[in-house]
Amino acid sequence: MSKLPHVGTTIFTIMSKLANDTQAINLSQGFPNFPVDPILVNILRENASKNVHQYMPMTGFPDLLSKIGALIESSYGRSIDTQTELLITAGATQGIFTTILALVDQGQEVVVLDPSYDCYEPAILLAGGKAKRISLSSDFLPDWDLIYDSVNDSTRMLIINSPHNPSGRVWTVEDLEKLELLMAKYPHLLLLSDEVYEYITFEQKHTSINSRPAIVDRSIIISSFGKTFHITGWKMGYLVAPKHLMTEINKVHQFNVFSVNSVAQASLSTYLDHVDVSTLGAFYQKKRDLFQKLMAPSRFKLLPCEGTYFQTVDYSEISRLKDVDFCRELTIKHGVAAIPISVFNASQKDQKIIRFCFAKDDETLIKATELLCKI
């Protein structure tokens, strides 16, 4: 008996392995290939010789908690109680899993917007809940009519993700206003807002749930240092939730990790004094613009990319293959790995759209696009 009979290996593992096996350029799984900030590396090195190797307090290293509190205040103008409303997690994945396990009960329904990041549904199923997966619009923005039709008085939670993986779209202020109306209509509805790409937006800026006082008392906001500081392998993140929800989240957290890597927490705490997250958008915009310029002569049609480090493209002029098969062919025959979008749809709906990760050094982007432009 399997508790997750329909769950296989994640597409990220599959495509990165195929890229490695075939020596293809890996623009599939989302991770940077350039060095991390040497200041952070030095801080880490120094911390290794300090007394920071034992368990941290359960919710997090107090210095790190207060620095994150200050970051939230300066980014979004929200002042949180870092003792009761903040939790350091082993990456966003653990934050999402712990939240869902703590707050979703047997038989309760959670509305998920497809294409959706692949860790949401398994967590809901393991909590005994039901995932009601509905589609975003064909251009990956919220379809408010469908969302309103799908939420009802017994819906426990809505999961949203903006900036959105895999599409790179960013919700507008008007979207958040519609969300607030929805939450006003359903006073028991909880919101899980996955904002791991919060600092990676371009022309269209991110509006965090942290800046929406009308709904923060029912919202759990998820962040990841992996994305913000180019350290996906550290698996460090945090979540913000009101005290009454955090009490429940902590009951699960204390037994599925207890506390998170001490050296990483101490290092991030120091590093937060040396780094300006507001420059991250411009840093990735340069990469997006380079990638888009290099791809312009290709037969791929570039779709809007407003945030994240992912560029989606429509390949329908090139091939009639299903996106999963096209990604295999692209990797094996043409030497560039990408992620098919259909795997993030419950229906496996195939729009002939795939995702490239442009969090790469210029040399990699140049080499990859040379290959892609020949197709």
CA-nearest of 343, 356, 352, 358 to 138 is 352
194 near ligand PMP, rule: CB under 6 A: yes
- Distance from C-alpha of 116 to C-alpha of 344, rounded to nearest angstrom: 5
Which one of ligand GLN, ligand PMP, none interacts with residue 29, CB within 5 to 8 A by kind?
ligand GLN
Tokens of 121: 């549904």
- At 109, give phi and psi (nearest 5°): -100, 140
Out of 123, 124, 192, 196, point to the residue binding ligand PMP (CB under 6 A): 196
Tokens of 14: 């599959």
98 near ligand PMP, rule: CB under 6 A: no
- Using CB under 6 A, which residues numbered 137 to 176 contact ligand PMP? 161, 165
- Distance from C-alpha of 135 to C-alpha of 115, rounded to nearest angstrom: 7
CA-nearest of 320, 348, 319 to 334 is 319
26 near ligand PMP, rule: CB under 6 A: no
What residues have CB less than 8 Å from 151, skipping those under 6 apart? 111, 158, 182, 186, 189
- Distance from C-alpha of 260 to C-alpha of 266, rounded to nearest angstrom: 11
CA-nearest of 114, 11, 10 to 331 is 11
Out of 165, 167, 259, 269, point to the residue binding ligand GLN (CB under 6 A): 165
Please tell me whether the peptide bond between 163 and the residue prior to it is cis, using omega within 30 degrees of 0.
Answer: yes
Closer residue to ligand GLN in complex, CB, 212/230: 230
Which one of ligand GLN, ligand PMP, none interacts with residue 224, CB within 5 to 8 A by kind?
ligand PMP
With contacts defined by CB under 6 A, name the span among 19-27, 43-51, 168-176, 232-240 that binds ligand PMP: 232-240
Q: What angle do CA 162, 164, 168 make, to 5 degrees?
A: 125
- Distance from C-alpha of 194 to C-alpha of 162, rounded to nearest angstrom: 7
326 near ligand PMP, rule: CB under 6 A: no
Which one of ligand GLN, ligand PMP, none interacts with residue 237, CB within 5 to 8 A by kind?
ligand PMP
CA-nearest of 224, 226, 181, 174 to 204 is 174
Closer residue to ligand GLN in complex, CB, 12/144: 12
Which one of ligand GLN, ligand PMP, none interacts with residue 226, CB within 5 to 8 A by kind?
ligand PMP
91 near ligand PMP, rule: CB under 6 A: yes
- Distance from C-alpha of 173 to C-alpha of 208, rounded to nearest angstrom: 10
Which one of ligand GLN, ligand PMP, none interacts with residue 91, CB within 5 to 8 A by kind?
ligand PMP
Which one of ligand PMP, ligand GLN, none interacts with residue 12, CB within 5 to 8 A by kind?
ligand GLN
Closer residue to ligand GLN in complex, CB, 165/269: 165
- Binding letters toward ligand GLN, positions 15-44, x by CB under 6 A: --------------xx--------------
- Least Å from the CB of residue 261 to ligand PMP: 13
- At 226, give phi and psi (nearest 5°): -55, -45
Which one of ligand GLN, ligand PMP, none interacts with residue 78, CB within 5 to 8 A by kind?
none
207 near ligand PMP, rule: CB under 6 A: no
- Least Å from the CB of residue 196 to ligand GLN: 8
Centroid of chain to Cα 4: 22
- Least Å from the CB of residue 117 to ligand PMP: 4
Tokens of 205: 């800026």
Cα–Cα distance list, 232 to 90, 91, 118, 172 (Å): 11, 8, 16, 27
Residues that bind ligand GLN (CB under 6 A): 10, 12, 29-30, 165
Residues that bind ligand PMP (CB under 6 A): 30, 91-93, 117, 161, 165, 194, 196, 224, 226, 232, 235, 237
